[in-house]
Amino acid sequence: MNRRDFVESVAAGLALGSHSRAANDKVGVGIVGVGGRGRYLITHLSRREDINLLAICDPDQARTQQGLEVVAPGKPKPRTYVDLRKLYENKEVDVVFIAATNHWHSLATIWACQAGKDVYVEKPASYNVFEGQRMVEAARRHNRVVQVGMQRRSLPHKKRAIELLRQGYIGKVYMARGLCYKQRRSMGHKPETQAPATLNWDLFLGPAPMRPYTENRQRGWHYLWDTGNADIGNQGIHEVDVARWGLNKSVNPKTAYCGGGKYIWDDDQETPNVQAAIWDYGDCLMTFEVRQLITGPESEMEQRRGSDNFVGNLFYGSDGYMVTEDSNFKTFRGPKREPGESGRVVEDKEHDETYPHVNNFFDCVRKRRPQDLAADVQEGVRSAELVHMANISYRTGRKLVLEAGATRFVGDVEANRLLTRNPYRKPYLVL
């Protein structure tokens, strides 16, 4: 063991000891990323009585100010940071919630693990395949509890639906479809300008290449390849994960193929607004579709409340099929498609899908039981890799054949090059 490994292992052991003492104390929490999701987490976490929200961090100081404004009344204001590395030096912070942009998820998680913090990282787990593998290594090496924000895995009706699939309620499942029919607006064209005075543009880009500032690069980052993973890696990762969960697959498919394009719009978006992916496991098929344009529903899928969107999963078996959504699941059995068991979310304005997922995370942090996580980092990375396979197939324009074992493609240098980012921009190196 070299000196660096020794120092890191000792630090991890000391951190583990401090977390075990937190079983009867309030857990110190920091939040990295104060966009819409980050502000939601501030609203939720600052109201909990079992934690102390100590710190929030964003490269845009205007965002951190917005974050302070949603802290629960009567609760102390957390300390604000611009650089997450400074937050990680705060010894009172036990746990970090990462709600930053996709391209920061992996490095922020790895650095947090190295600093002895447990991590709740929003979806998708990783920006690319290489970074996901390094996240898992960091979590295991430093004995960290790392949950990925795939909250559907904590919803009772989704867990019951998966249980029925395991029991053969619709027979042998031969196909799973994930759907993300979520209307978006064109981002238009935005010129290169000076970054706002409140924004540290270098920190915002982090591992991504240095580019001139545009408003679309900051606000439309999901749909630019430097920083995002298209809508399949935004809303879509939830449905990709549920499809894989329902099929009970923990290994790579045999092949991956994805087609689509950017239709109708003329704007700065680089990623497709219509996308269709197919993963072939040999004994079953998994598909996923993105439509950011006007579209209709599939099967008995319901329109999302308060929107024109249709998002969920369809499972097809030898004896019937199942529809799962955030609000319900339904089954239809036999050749006449007669209704079977169904389930629906109990409406509760004070709680949503995030609550049970966060509760599961804190429970595992206090008990030091990462094996009880609803969405351990390994599970999150496996599902994110399916997203990356699809996007790589789309960008190369061809069907990809998977090697056995770790994710690589047979005889495809160009596709394998897209498994990572080369080069990484110093000092934001994923090692």
Q: What is the CATH number of the domain that holds 396?
A: 3.30.360.10
- Residue 187 structural domain: 155-350+382-417
Using CA atoms, how far residue 338 sits from 177, 297, 403, in Å, is 20, 20, 41
| Spatial separation of the C-alpha atoms in residues 156 and 52, rounded to whole Å | 28
| Spatial separation of the C-alpha atoms in residues 180 and 291, rounded to whole Å | 6
| Spatial separation of the C-alpha atoms in residues 334 and 290, rounded to whole Å | 29
User: Does the pTM exceed 0.75?
Assistant: yes
Residues 102-156: pLDDT tens digits? 999 999 999 999 999 999 999 999 999 999 999 999 999 999 999 999 999 999 9
User: Which pLDDT belongs to residue 278?
Assistant: 98
Residues 141-185: pLDDT tens digits? 999 999 999 999 999 999 999 999 999 999 999 999 999 999 999
| Spatial separation of the C-alpha atoms in residues 83 and 180, rounded to whole Å | 34
Residues 43-54: pLDDT tens digits? 999 999 999 999
User: Which pLDDT belongs to residue 310?
Assistant: 93
| Spatial separation of the C-alpha atoms in residues 62 and 360, rounded to whole Å | 32
33: Cα separation from own chain's centroid: 14
Note the helical H segments in 115-228: 129-141, 156-166, 201-205, 215-219
**Statement to judge: residues 170 and 288 lie in one domain:** yes
User: Which pLDDT belongs to residue 350?
Assistant: 53
Report if residue 392 sits inside a domain: yes
**Statement to judge: residues 56 and 94 lie in one domain:** yes
Burial 8-38 (b: 16+ CB within 10 A, else e): beeebeebbeebeebeeeebbbbbbbbbebb
Report if residue 427 sits inside a domain: no
Report if residue 430 sits inside a domain: no
Report if residue 424 sits inside a domain: no
**Statement to judge: residues 182 and 253 lie in one domain:** yes
User: Which pLDDT belongs to residue 71?
Assistant: 98
Comparing 3-7, 235-239, 334-338, which segment has the lowest mean pLDDT? 3-7
**Statement to judge: residues 223 and 283 lie in one domain:** yes
**Statement to judge: residues 343 and 394 lie in one domain:** yes
Report if residue 50 sits inside a domain: yes
Report if residue 429 sits inside a domain: no
Report if residue 280 sits inside a domain: yes
Q: Which residue has the higher pLDDT, 307 or 74?
A: 74
User: Which pLDDT belongs to residue 351?
Assistant: 57
**Statement to judge: residues 401 and 306 lie in one domain:** yes
pLDDT at 198 over 70: yes
User: Which pLDDT belongs to residue 1?
Assistant: 40
CA dihedral for 36, 38, 41, 46, sign (positive or negative) = negative
Comparing 3-17, 318-332, 358-372, which segment has the lowest mean pLDDT? 3-17
Calculate the average pLDDT of the chain: 93
Using CA atoms, how far residue 99 sits from 17, 122, 124, 162, 412, in Å, is 26, 6, 10, 28, 33
**Statement to judge: residues 212 and 337 lie in one domain:** yes
Helix (H, G, I), strand (E, B) or coil at 323: strand
**Statement to judge: residues 198 and 100 lie in one domain:** no
If you average pLDDT over residues 47-64, what whole number do you get? 97
Looking from the CA of 229 toward its CB, the CA atoms found within 13 Å total 29
User: Which pLDDT belongs to residue 39?
Assistant: 98
**Statement to judge: residues 118 and 229 lie in one domain:** no
| Spatial separation of the C-alpha atoms in residues 243 and 259, rounded to whole Å | 19
User: Which pLDDT belongs to residue 352?
Assistant: 78
User: Which pLDDT belongs to residue 297?
Assistant: 85
Helix (H, G, I), strand (E, B) or coil at 220: coil
**Statement to judge: residues 338 and 364 lie in one domain:** no
DSSP conformation class of 409: B
| Spatial separation of the C-alpha atoms in residues 172 and 179, rounded to whole Å | 21
User: Which pLDDT belongs to residue 6?
Assistant: 35
pLDDT band at 289 (very low <50, low <70, confident <90, very high): very high
User: Which pLDDT belongs to residue 347?
Assistant: 64
pLDDT at 348 over 70: no
Helix, strand, coil: what percent of the chain each, to 5? 35, 20, 40
| Spatial separation of the C-alpha atoms in residues 139 and 134, rounded to whole Å | 9
* Domain total in the chain: 2
| Spatial separation of the C-alpha atoms in residues 66 and 101, rounded to whole Å | 17
Residues 385-421: pLDDT tens digits? 999 999 999 999 999 999 999 999 999 999 999 999 9
| Spatial separation of the C-alpha atoms in residues 247 and 176, rounded to whole Å | 7
CA dihedral for 153, 155, 159, 161, sign (positive or negative) = negative
| Spatial separation of the C-alpha atoms in residues 96 and 356, rounded to whole Å | 18
If you average pLDDT over residues 61-78, what whole number do you get? 97
pLDDT at 304 over 90: no
Q: What is the CATH number of the domain that holds 66?
A: 3.40.50.720
Scan for tokens 């009880």, then name that residue: 372
Report if residue 428 sits inside a domain: no
Final residue belonging to a domain, choices 322, 340, 374: 374
pLDDT band at 74 (very low <50, low <70, confident <90, very high): very high
**Statement to judge: residues 211 and 327 lie in one domain:** yes
Scan for tokens 């169904």, then name that residue: 342
User: Which pLDDT belongs to residue 8?
Assistant: 44
**Statement to judge: residues 295 and 368 lie in one domain:** no
Using CA atoms, how far residue 7 sits from 11, 13, 89, 146, in Å, is 6, 10, 16, 21
If you average pLDDT over residues 267-277, what whole number do you get? 98
